Every structure is written in structure tokens, then in C-alpha cells.
Amino acid sequence: MATLEIRDLHVTVEADNATKEILKGVDLTVKQGETHAIMGPNGSGKSTLAYSLAGHPKYTVTGGTVTLDGEDVLEMSVDERARAGLFLAMQYPVEVPGVSVSNFLRTSATAVRGEAPKLRTWVKEVKEAMERLNMDASFAERNVNEGFSGGEKKRHEILQLELLRPKVAILDETDSGLDVDALRIVSEGVNRVRETGEVGTLLITHYTRILRYIKPDFVHVFSGGRIVESGGAELADKLENEGYEAYAKLDGADTKGGVSA
């Protein structure tokens, strides 16, 4: 069983000519087949956790460990982390001019699987996955995310998830900017992958609305750069009713606005 273990993780970032500590001792274990929701206000460090796990160079790990199946993730390059089974669906997916969705997906699958998928079966696999996500087949020949709407970009992220089948999927505010129809379609895609029991899911979100579609096994409240409370799905209901004010920290975490749907 694949296991992602995060122990006492500390991360800093350079901002305004100063070094600021964002993560202040994160402890979390995500096992294959489990779904963990991380909820918290803006500025609490949720996205920093996601990008640090993926190896973004902007963030510097100053302490702690991250292992996947006992292997040191922090010693891996970004591409090595992906090949090892870590997947990041970004809050703001970037455009890649000159690279078609079709070529991008097949190259990614080749890197992860260790060999190029047979073309005939791969085309069928991609077509069926796109149909499940209500994506027009013409998207396969468009440049990655170029001219895509917010919802189309998020569907493309979940298309990658369905095709690559990582060990651990980190979904950074996948619900951000989605209308109700796109949210349902994207959530159904995530659930299809979850139902295989082969993927551990780390779902980062501000709001509870996506949790109406994707039921977490565990909910963690993030504030001030660490997890301050954990529980089951009922904890999300508590946040829906009470917001984040009770978890406010003196280090500047913005808890205004609560958890609105």
C-alpha cells in the first residue's frame, strides 16, 4: 500500500527581500485509497504545502521529511517525484504554447509508465476519458490550456489524473472558479479514480461545496502553517457552520469570511 508521510515539515519563501516561514511543522500521512481534505483560510499555507510536495523551486524546505513508500521525496527532482507517483492538479494551470494536449498526455504517460503506450489503445483510452469529462475530442489537438476556460483547464487536470493514475494525487483548490455543472463533472472524474482504491487523495479547498460530491475520509484544518485539528467528514460540517475564526492565529492568517458555499 502506497503511503505518503510528511513529518515536521517546515518551508520558507522569499518575499519582499525577506525570508518568511510559511509551513511551521506539518505532520500528515496519506495512504493509498484514502481521501484527506485540507481546509483553511487564505494565507494559512495550504497551497504552499501542495507546491512544496511537488518540488516548486520557489519554496525552500528548512526542516522535516517527506517520504513516499519510504523513499525520500525531498531528494527527488520534480520529474522524479512525478514518476514516483506524485501528481499535482494546480489551482491555476499554466498554458504550454506549441505543445498539443495529445502529445503532452502521451509523453507524460510514457514517463510515468516507463514505456510508450501503444498508439491504437492509447487513442481509445484518451477518447473515452475525454468523453467521461464532457470534453470535445478537438481539445486533444489544441495547445495545452491555451485559450481554455477555467473549467476546461480543470477538466484537463482531471483528464491527466484519470490517465496517469498516480499513487498520491494532490488537488490544489480544484473547485476554484468552477460553476456547478463543471464542479459536478470534475468531482465525478476524481471519484472514478478514487473508486479504484489505488490512489491516495489530498484535496485542498477553502469551501465545503466540493465535499458534497467528494466525500473525504479525513478532514484537517490548516491554520498558521500547520494542521491544528483533524477529524472525519463531520469536521467539514462544523467549518460550514462556524467558519475559521476559532482557528485564527496571531501570525497573520486571514480567517475572515468563514466557509461559505
Domains and CATH numbers, the chain: 3-92+166-247 (3.40.50.300)
Question: What pLDDT shows up at residue 250?
Answer: 38
**Pairing outcome for strands 18-31 and 200-205:** unpaired
Residue type at position 225 = G
| Cα distance between residue 199 and residue 87, in whole Å | 10
| Separation CA 69–CA 78 (nearest Å) | 17
Crossing angle for the helix pair 150-164 and 180-194, to the nearest 10 degrees: 10
pTM assigned to the model: 0.89
pLDDT at 95: 84
Predicted confidence pLDDT, tens digits, the chain (261 residues): 789 999 999 999 988 888 999 999 999 999 999 999 999 888 889 999 999 999 999 999 999 999 999 999 999 999 999 999 999 998 888 889 999 999 999 999 999 888 999 988 999 999 999 999 999 889 899 999 988 888 899 999 999 999 999 999 999 998 888 889 999 999 999 999 999 989 999 999 988 889 999 999 999 999 989 999 999 999 999 998 888 888 764 344 444 443 333
Across the strands, what pairs with 25?
A: none
pLDDT of residue 221: 94
Distances (CA, A) of 133 to 109, 144, 145, 161, 239: 19, 16, 15, 12, 30
Comparing CA positions, the residue from 115, 215, 251 lying closest to residue 107 is 115
What is the predicted pLDDT for the residue at 114? 87
Which pLDDT value is given to residue 258? Answer: 39
Task: Collapse the DSSP code of 13 into the 3-class scheme (helix H, G, I; strand E, B; otherwise coil) and give the result.
Answer: strand
Output the pLDDT for position 256. 41
pLDDT score at 64: 97
Encoded amino acid at 181, one letter? D
**Angle between helical axes of 150-164 and 119-132 (0-180°, round to 10):** 130
Question: Alpha-carbon distance 190 to 171, whole Å?
Answer: 9
